[in-house]
Amino acid sequence: MSFVAGLVVLRANGTYTDSTEIEIVTAEGVTRFQEVGQGTYRLSNDSVFFRVGASATEYSMVRNGAELVQDFDGIILIYRR
């Protein structure tokens, strides 16, 4: 599995869209798909907390200058402005 591209959009009204393009290569070929999450976010110190839709599911990213850094189960994803 490879992360091909990603985009996080934070809006002034407290909503966000987080899209990630993923590629899976198998013996049968290459499959690409996109996962999109939307909901609300809140800022706390150097972190951004994302709440998915109306659920209680929440994940976070750390703000580092012009970057957002996410630890995705041991895989570090960096979103640059």
CATH number of the domain within which 23 lies: 2.40.128
pLDDT (tens digit, 0 to 9) for every residue of the chain, 81 residues total? Answer: 888 899 999 999 999 999 999 999 999 999 999 999 999 999 999 999 999 988 888 999 999 999 999 998 888 999 998
Enclosing domain of residue 64: 2-80
Domain count of the fold of the chain: 1
The helix/strand/coil state of 13 is coil
Q: In what order do the strands lie in the sheet with 58-64?
A: 2-10, 15-26, 29-44, 47-52, 58-64, 67-72, 75-80
Whether pTM > 0.85 for this model: the answer is: no
